[in-house]
Structure 1
Amino acid sequence: MMVIEETQVADELLPVEALTAQLRMGSGFDEADLQEPVLRAFLRAALAAIEARTGKALLIRSFLWTLHGWRDPEGAVLPLAPVQSVTELALIDRNGAAQVIAPERYRLEVDSIAPRLRPQGATLPSIPEGGAAELRFSAGFAASFDALPPDLAQAVLLLAAHYYEYRDETALSQGCMPFGVTSLIARYRPLRMGFTS
């Protein structure tokens, strides 16, 4: 299984001004142009870290999911949420030839935690032996940062500010997420069900 981000978050969607305010940075100085790329990089890193921890796409963009077998042919759980739409399902044979499946043969079951690709019939189309299924979909909470749920937007700003303030700290090489950030994203994290022995 592999998930590829086909479209990236555009620079103009990153809340550089909000992060500048969060950091209480001055404005109007010659260095402002030098800081913007640095702030954008930390915002991208914060978005990626929060998406990895929650299994959620924050800003809407397109993804490609490639898999070599259905875990459950009656419904495949997509690797990210919330999914806005499925744009294409294609079956690829072992020689690389693609067959696009008609959208009437499957549907998206919307769910904020575990969206599923469901068949319109009994099962999803069979993946060819030695081949793969490629599913293109768009996922994310909002098209703009301002439209994100406020707790997720605040978590991104806090984490980006943390990365900026500790950018020279090599003792944090194992990675850490401040308590305030983990508290804000806690309700978005996937639940782990099971028993320990």
Structure 2
Amino acid sequence: MLVEETVVTDAALPVVAFREHLRLGSGFAEDALQDGLLAGCLRAALAAIEAQTNKVLLTRQFSATVQNPPRGAEYTFAVAPVGQVLALTQLAADGSETALEVIAHRLLPDAHAPRLVPHPPVPVRGQLKISFEAGMGAAWADLPHDLAQAVMMLAAHFYETRNASGGATAEALPYGVNALIARYRVVRLSAGRRWS
């Protein structure tokens, strides 16, 4: 179970750049009138692209709870890239919590499937809560240009079709967005193995 512990702040969203991308008018007192709507479109586009790629674009904190992990098993993170593990907590069946030493566990970085190797092995009947930081960058300027462009394009699509009612026939991601995020997607070839 993956939980987003912190959210992307309004200050991290490129609302001004998005307004320019849309070629909205400027120089009027009402410039900021649509900022809430623009920020909402950017957040939706970020969420959609992160869901399609399993990549976290703007850095934030997450926690993952592993139910009854096999003794000594590696944990493969559901998202990437993982920058650091912040805390590890063992949850016993009786509800008690035991903090584990983060330094005793090894983070194996990977562009698509970073892994955590626990040491010592977690008991079979325990749960493991992993608090970690993931993301490609703390600021918009830190993102790869193709992903930043994909977010802008998808946010513009959401903005322009915000009043459209869709159903089973609603179109998928625009072709240009799909083309830009294609190399970041994880292709699954068999159960349990992930390949890029």
Please report the TM-score for the alignment, with normalisation by the length of structure 2.
0.90
CA distance in 2, matches of 1:140, 1:166: 29
Offset at 1:135? 0.3
Q: In the alignment, what sits opposite 2:194?
A: none
Unaligned runs of 5+ in 1: none
Displacement of 1:171: 2.8
Name the counterpart of 1:96. Answer: 95
Aligned to 1:138: 133
Contact 1:104/1:120 (CA < 8 Å) preserved in 2? no
1:53 lines up with 2:52 in the alignment: yes
1:79, 1:107 → 2: CA distance?
17
Q: Which residue of 1 aligns with 2:186?
A: 190
Per-residue CA deviations over 1:79-124 (Å, capped at 9, x if unaligned) read: 1100000011101112321101112431100111110001346xx3
Aligned to 1:180: 176
Letter in 2 for 1:117: L
Deviates more, 1:8-17 or 1:90-99: 90-99
Q: CA deviation at 1:72?
A: 7.8
Q: CA RMSD in A?
A: 1.9
1:156 to 148, 151, 160: 151
Q: Secondary structure in 2 aligned to 1:176? A: coil
Where has structure 1 moved over 6 Å in runs of 4 or more? none
Output the amino acid matched with 1:182. Answer: N
Per the alignment, residue 168 of structure 1 pairs with 163
Contact 2:89 2:97 in 1 (8 A): yes
Corresponding residue for 2:83?
84
Flag structure 2 segments of 5+ consecutive residues without an equivalent.
192-196
Tell me which amino acid in the other structure corresponds to 2:175. Answer: F
> Which one is further off, 131-140 or 66-75?
66-75
